[in-house]
Amino acid sequence: MRASFDINSSTGIYRVSLGEGLVQEVTASDAHRIFIVDRHLLPQVAFVSDPIIAVDASEANKSLERIAPIIEALKHHGATRETEIVAVGGGIIQDIATFVASIYMRGLRWHYCPTTLLGMVDSCIGGKSSINVGALKNLVGNFHPPASILIDLAFVHSLSPEQQTSGLMESVKICYARGAEAFADYLALRPTAPLQTDTAFAIIEQSLTTKKWFIEVDEFDQAERLLLNFGHTFGHAVESATHFAIPHGIAVGVGILMAYKYAEVASLLSPAGEERARRLVDHVQALLQPLRHTLAPLIRIDAEVLLKHFESDKKHSQSHYRVIVPVEDGELQRLSVPRSAIIQALICNAFALGAGIAVRGGI
């Protein structure tokens, strides 16, 4: 099982390779390399003889405050402008490596081996970094695409079903955002955790080739790519209000259900759109069903508290909230809605109803 394709970006073309045993291949060149590795995965890179900077994959570590020690460690290991960084880990290591590689001596080449399904199906392409500042999640960041991406399927198998489901949520989001055909192709793969290797391969390939369209037509998040924030505006509120007890991808799944409920309470869907969006809701609920214990804290959170977290999302303007919801025939649209009491009541309603169908099922 092996696939590869190229991504066109403003800084050049980079290759995405998908298969088995790829992490070993990254050490084949004679470049001066320094690895940045999720500490938890050190045994899986035991063959590496280059210097390794081990980092715990915590939100606290992908913060502006913790970037300086990593830069000092690069210097300590003799990094020059010719040094290539190899990042091995999930979205947290990716965010750290993208940011550090973009600013160390004004920019180093870097390679990325994503190890979570979320990283493999979504975040590994697109070149974005998002760094926390204190308690403010993903407040700063930039674009610095890697020189290559090596997706080694061996990493899928050490992920828990919950971690795999987290990745599937981003995959659903991408495929639904692209349109009815991409979503039907995705569902035909029968995605569910735990994943067999061939299903994981097919889902990763389908998600990335679908996301490729978004990032090539709109690399810098001005129009089409913004649709990939579907589920995230509500989801970030869920994540931060639960103090990250609900992992990112799972919160995105809940956020998708809340966005659907917003469309419903604001009467934005036609009957045909309702039917199409219901297929999405059914699938997301089926994926969340085994995770009721993880979602339990949601029920205890007041919608007003969620609204406070929702309001701090960087996608809103001073006067308007930005929400991505299914409208009319079920296509996603990015709406700009005034920060009025009526809209706030609709959002709170969507929070409560979305949390209810996430935790208890039903519709």
Ligand X SMILES: NC(=O)c1ccc[n+]([C@@H]2O[C@H](COP(=O)([O-])OP(=O)(O)OC[C@H]3O[C@@H](n4cnc5c(N)ncnc54)[C@H](O)[C@@H]3O)[C@@H](O)[C@H]2O)c1
List CB contacts of 135: < 8 A, sequence separation 6 or more: 240
Identified binder of ligand X from the candidate list 16, 92, 100, 251, rule CB under 6 A? 92
Q: Shortest Cβ distance from residue 159 to ligand X (Å)? A: 5
207 contacts ligand X (rule: CB under 6 A):
no
What are the beta bridge partners of residue 86?
Answer: 35, 111
Q: Shortest Cβ distance from residue 351 to ligand X (Å)? A: 20
Identified binder of ligand X from the candidate list 61, 83, 129, 240, rule CB under 6 A? 129
Q: Shortest Cβ distance from residue 30 to ligand X (Å)? A: 28
Question: Which residue number, 118 or 327, has a Cβ lying nearer to ligand X?
Answer: 118
- Number of neighbours of residue 340 by Cβ within 10 angstroms: 12
Q: Shortest Cβ distance from residue 20 to ligand X (Å)? A: 14
Judged by CB under 6 A, which stretch of 68-76, 91-99, 183-191, 207-215 contacts ligand X?
91-99
145 contacts ligand X (rule: CB under 6 A):
no
195 contacts ligand X (rule: CB under 6 A):
no
- Give the Cα separation of 190 and 188 in Å (integer): 5
- Give the Cα separation of 154 and 159 in Å (integer): 10
For residue 239 the two structure tokens come to 């994540």
61 contacts ligand X (rule: CB under 6 A):
no
State residue 332 phi and psi, 5-degree precision. -80, 145
Judged by CB under 6 A, which stretch of 56-64, 220-228, 264-272, 332-340 contacts ligand X?
56-64
Residue 301 DSSP label:
S
Identified binder of ligand X from the candidate list 9, 102, 148, 163, rule CB under 6 A? 163
Provide the mask over 10-39, with x wherever binding to ligand X is found by CB under 6 A and - wherever it is not: ----------------------------x-
Full 3-state SS string of 204-222: HHHHHHHHHHHHHHCCCCC
DSSP strand pairing (109-114 vs 84-89): parallel
248 contacts ligand X (rule: CB under 6 A):
yes
Question: Which residue number, 174 or 277, has a Cβ lying nearer to ligand X?
Answer: 174
Number of helical H runs and strand E runs in the chain: 13, 11
219 contacts ligand X (rule: CB under 6 A):
no
Identified binder of ligand X from the candidate list 23, 35, 52, 95, rule CB under 6 A? 95
Identified binder of ligand X from the candidate list 138, 165, 206, 344, rule CB under 6 A? 138
Q: Shortest Cβ distance from residue 53 to ligand X (Å)? A: 15
Q: Shortest Cβ distance from residue 281 to ligand X (Å)? A: 22
Identified binder of ligand X from the candidate list 165, 166, 171, 294, rule CB under 6 A? 166
Residue type at 224? Answer: E
Contact criterion met (CB below 8 Å) for 207 and 198: no
Residue type at 36? Answer: I
Helix (H, G, I), strand (E, B) or coil at 296: helix
Contact criterion met (CB below 8 Å) for 196 and 156: no
Q: Shortest Cβ distance from residue 24 to ligand X (Å)? A: 16
Question: Which single residue brings its beta carbon nearest to ligand X?
Answer: 91
Contact criterion met (CB below 8 Å) for 206 and 175: yes
Residue type at 324? Answer: I
- Number of neighbours of residue 74 by Cβ within 10 angstroms: 22
Segment 97-126, which members bind ligand X (CB under 6 A)?
115-116, 118-119, 123, 126
128 contacts ligand X (rule: CB under 6 A):
yes
Expressed in angstroms, the distance from the first to the final Cα of the chain is 39
What are the beta bridge partners of residue 13?
Answer: 8
Interface residue list for ligand X (CB under 6 A): 38, 40-41, 57, 59, 62, 89-95, 115-116, 118-119, 123, 126, 128-130, 138, 155, 158-159, 163, 166, 248-249
